Amino acid sequence: MGEDTLFRSLDLIEPGDLVRYHGSLTDAHGLYLAQPCPCAVCRLRLRITPTDTRYVLLDPWDEMPGPQCVRRASITRSDACN
């Protein structure tokens, strides 16, 4: 991973952004719409560590829920948004 990749991994994910999930749930890898995870655990975590935003991922076609409480490092904003 080069410096450029590392820098881009810090890009902010906006709610509704199309992202590619590449985290630990390999069966779930793919494209999703990212939203801030609304669960109680993530809201509490964010209050303690404001930089640790977690995401819930929605299937962009049928809006079925995908992985939730996903770390920022497990998703990359898709080029398809640009």
Q: Which residues bind Zn ion (CB under 5 A)?
A: 37, 39, 42, 69
Which residue's CB is nearer to Zn ion, number 33 or number 42? 42
Which residue's CB is nearer to Zn ion, number 25 or number 80? 25
- Give how far Cα 57 sits from Cα of 6, 7, 25, 28, 82, Å: 22, 23, 12, 10, 19
Phi, psi of 14 (to 5 degrees): -90, 145
Which residue's CB is nearer to Zn ion, number 69 or number 80? 69
State the minimum distance, in angstroms, from the CB of residue 59 to Zn ion.
17
State the minimum distance, in angstroms, from the CB of residue 44 to Zn ion.
10
State the minimum distance, in angstroms, from the CB of residue 40 to Zn ion.
8
How crowded is residue 61: how many other Cβ atoms within 10 Å of its Cβ?
A: 8
